[in-house]
Chains A and B, each alone.
Chain A
Amino acid sequence: MLAYTIKRLGLAVLVALAVSALAFLALRASGDVAIALAGEGARAEDIENIRRAYGLDRPLLVQYLDWLGHMLRGDFGQSHYFKTDVLGLVLAKLPTTAILALLALGFALAISVPLGVIAAVYPNSAIDRLCLALAVLGQAMPNFFFALILIMVLAVWLHLLPVSGSETWSHFVMPTIALGYYVAPPFMRLVRAGMMEVLASDYIRTARAKGLSRASVIGKHALRNALVPVVALAAVQLGFLLGGSVVIETIFALDGAGYLAYQSITHMDVPVTQALVAMLSFIYVGLTLAADLANAWLDPRIRVG
């Protein structure tokens, strides 16, 4: 287990380094930060001065290593637009996004696991087909369109929920649904497939033959095994939800890291954008690392093979 952990940890560090370098290069290669900083209508010599002042005239590799060195010491630089320390800014907004992503994941699991189990217990029945149709429809629905429909129905017509903002828990309801429904179908398919496989296995037949109740066989014996791959998918989807929160947070003006990302991108605030890209990818790398280690701990075949 130790050898596997060290190997997997080393790979995670390499991936994080590569991502930070790529994200840095992609952002620097796609536009001139100095022009963005100087603003519209700036004179050529002003742009030149800014370039020199911010060290943007140095080779890209030097700039990257400089940025990396500062980042490792917890210094993500200063925001051009918000005029504050980038790290403090990002850390202040991350909890909101983390809460939203976890709520959305919980919402997705709450609908997909029961539906997946029912679909597997009654394969090819009307209810199975209905679940499948819902999954296909759900994945075709653009999430920003669904979010606007939610606003119209729940906030404007029924006056049940506030349209936007992030002050109370009720502000999180619509963003949670709008973000979470989209990842429910993959979970449902996975639970359905896993349950069908498990239900056909010998130990389930034994459990049935012992005369255990149907609820006990399905809930205790089968579901527990069918949920193992769900854990790995949950880690990956959580990373997706953190990134996907850009669209949803912007629609609902939910004051989290996603909305901050949108603001930093529209205002060409490159240090903030860079910090957010780096942090989100580090979180993703951390989550997949945790999922891999958890799986290896549960299943010895992984760490040996």
Chain B
Amino acid sequence: MTEAYAPPLVDISGPSPQALLRRRVLAHKGLMIGATVLVLIVLMAALAPLLAPHDPYAQELSRRLIPPIWHAKGTWAYPFGTDNLGRDYLSRVIYGARISLLIGFAVMVISGLIGAALGLAAGYFGGRVDMAVTFIITVRLAMPLILVALAVVAMVGGSLWIVILVLGLLKWDRFAVVMRAATQQVRSLDYVTAAQATGASTARIIVGEVLPNVLPHLIVVASVEAASAILLEAALSFLGLGVQPPLPSWGLMIAEAKTYMFFSFWLIAIPGTALAVLVLVINMVGDGIRDVSAPGGRG
């Protein structure tokens, strides 16, 4: 008798959430392509001393402005050619990845810490804390970002770390806005109320209950912010008010090549393309994470 009512011998619990997530990640083409290229760029930056064929700072004035290999006069000794000071362009592009990645990562961490702390506090505590944080965010949004960053960097004197610090202190607004909204949503859910009822401390609830559940939002904003910090550094350096020579910042390389652009456009096209590719793959990874962490996908 009992056998007639026995459940079929399949695992009705289905694949575990981790397995489902892994499946979604592997099935997302944009995420996989973006992540692969991003990992390659990170490896290129980490292994720059091994990969770069020449010293990126070594000047050789007798070898100025050699065209890249796809031009008729190109030579395999300098695949991307040389710049106006005779420095190997390929080596400078490879080392330049270090600067862009460092800027993106460091600005993301600094602005992420500030923005996430403000947003969490506003969303969790509400009331006056929320009012104060909202006011601070509004004030920050009203400041013209590029103008203030340019002016402060120019006054202090441009350097890699100054650029990182200034951008980190200015770019936390999106983190704060998104974290505030996400925390407000999570805060009213039952498991937070349950944790409060069991007497858990505020710090414990925020770290143990709220933070893990708003993390997907945080990661998506982090990718957007890293990409935008990389573009901003390039713009500042392009205007001569960011990273200073002889560092091989991609934005600075474009600025240095501007005088020669009518005759040697590759000097601008190569670092410009490098920037666009890096930002593109970071955005692809961010968009991908947003898609796979929200079941149902976009649309």
Contacts and interface: CB of A to CB of B under 8 A. Distances in A.
B144 A242 contact: yes
Residue of A30, A36, A145, A270 with highest tally of chain B CB at under 10 A: A145
Interface stretch (B43-51, B121-129, B205-213, B258-266): B258-266
Given A14-B135, A140-B280, A142-B275, A281 B146 contact: no
A285 interface: yes
B254 A145 contact: yes
B19 interface: no
Interface string A10-37: 0100111011001100110011000010
A280 interface: yes
Given A250-B239, A265-B151, A136 B284 contact: yes
A149 B275 CA distance: 14
Contact of B239 (A27, A151, A247, A277): A247
A242 B145 CA distance: 11
Interface string B134-147: 01001101111111
Contacts of B240: 266
Contacts of B150: 246, 261-262, 265
Contacts of A273: 147, 151
B299 A124 contact: yes
A243 interface: yes
Contacts of B141: 236, 284
Contacts of A284: 141-142, 144
Interface residues of A, number: 52
A165 interface: no
A141 interface: yes
A145 B272 contact: yes
B145 A243 contact: yes
A247 B231 CA distance: 12
Interface stretch (B8-16, B78-86, B90-98, B152-160): B152-160
A196 interface: yes
B256 interface: no
Contact of B142 (A19, A27, A139, A250): A19
Max chain A CB contacts within 10 Å: which of B145, B240, B254, B272? B272
Interface of B: 135, 138-139, 141-148, 150-152, 154-157, 227, 231, 234-235, 238-241, 251, 254, 258, 261-262, 265, 268-269, 272, 275-277, 279-280, 283-284, 287, 299
